[in-house]
Amino acid sequence: MALDTQHIILSTDNLSIGYSSKKTQHVVRSGINLELKKGQLIGLVGANGIGKSTLLRTLTKVQKPLSGQILLNGKNLSHYTPVDLAKTLSLVLTEKIASKNLSVFELVALGRHPYTDWIGNLNETDIAIINKSLSQINIADLKDKKCFELSDGQFQKAMIARALSQDTDLIILDEPTTHLDMYHKAYILKLLQRLVKETQKTILFSSHEIDLAIQLCDSMIVMTNSEVTLDAPKNLISKGIFNELFPKDLITFDLESGSFRVKK
């Protein structure tokens, strides 16, 4: 058992997520028990409005859990200081960054902030890590470009490089494939898969690309109306979980091909 917990990067214990104000509590989901293993690519899927974002916001300490607890590397999430958390968990969000006048190198360099001194000077180690992150994502040639000059796909890669340079055990991405074409969707997810293999980091991402996620992920979290399930994609298919994902009037999950079909 002791050996087992060493392989767990993040676990939740009877977690209940939602929003609370002074008088009322709005529970989005409750009784969530998950164990994310180290060195895996994990996809989070579910219909719109099912609570994917709320779950990610809670796991990343943007909002507080209503009840239950979250353990990150065996330590309660609420006991982390902001800087310690930044050294363990990095994020790629859907929101636009405030200044697009940064160069790609400057953007990626910001990932080193939890490690730099009071004024943010980069030492040799920092610069080596930044350059390594850039080459791991294959964007070393873009490093002097300004962010507003990049295409959506290139910008997303730069944001992933930034998270990588933060040198954390866990990277969480919120819908990293939105706004991208079919090729770049596959490219970004394939890139994440390669990063997991090369760096032994754990990467959790939410996505609506269920077909791609099934093909590439080591395990998936599926949120349906009745439950939140974590398992390997092939087990999830055989359990018939994907059929529960959406209302059945328009699309159904085809077990043979492992993808969704529109009803004719």
Partner 1 sequence: MVLLLAICFVVNITLGSVSIPLKEIFNSLFGNIENQSWQYIILNFRLPKAITAILVGSGLGISGLLMQTLFRNPLAGPFVLGISSGASLGVALVILGAGTFGGFLSTFLISKWSVVIAASLGSLLVLLAVLAMSVKVRDTMAILIIGLMFGSITAAVVSVLSYFSSAEKLQQYVFWGFGSLGNLSWNELLVFFCIYALGLLLSVTSIKALNTLLLGENYAKSLGLNIKQSRLVIIFATSLLAGTITAFAGPIAFIGLAIPHMVRQVFNTSNHKILLPAVFLLGAIIMLICDSIAQLPHSDFSLPINAITSLIGAPVVIWLLVRKRKMMF
Which of 37, 38, 87, 145 touches partner 1 by CB under 8 A? 87
Site string for partner 1, 63-82 (x = CB under 8 A): ------------------xx
* Whole-number Å distance between alpha carbons of 190 and 185: 9
Sheet holding 75-76, edge to edge: 25-37, 8-20, 67-72, 75-76
Sheet holding 170-174, edge to edge: 89-92, 170-174, 202-206, 41-46, 219-223, 228-231
Contact between 119 and partner 1 (CB under 8 A)? yes
Beta carbon nearer to partner 1, 83 or 128: 83
Which of 97, 140, 186, 251 touches partner 1 by CB under 8 A? 97
Site string for partner 1, 137-166 (x = CB under 8 A): -----------------------------x
Among the listed ranges 96-104, 204-212, 218-226, 251-259, the one in contact with partner 1 (CB under 8 A) is 96-104
- Phi/psi of residue 121, each to 5°? -70, 140
Burial class (CB in 10 A: 0-12, 13-18, 19+), 30: middle
The CB-of-235 to partner 1 minimum distance in angstroms stands at: 32
Beta carbon nearer to partner 1, 40 or 90: 90
* Whole-number Å distance between alpha carbons of 102 and 254: 45
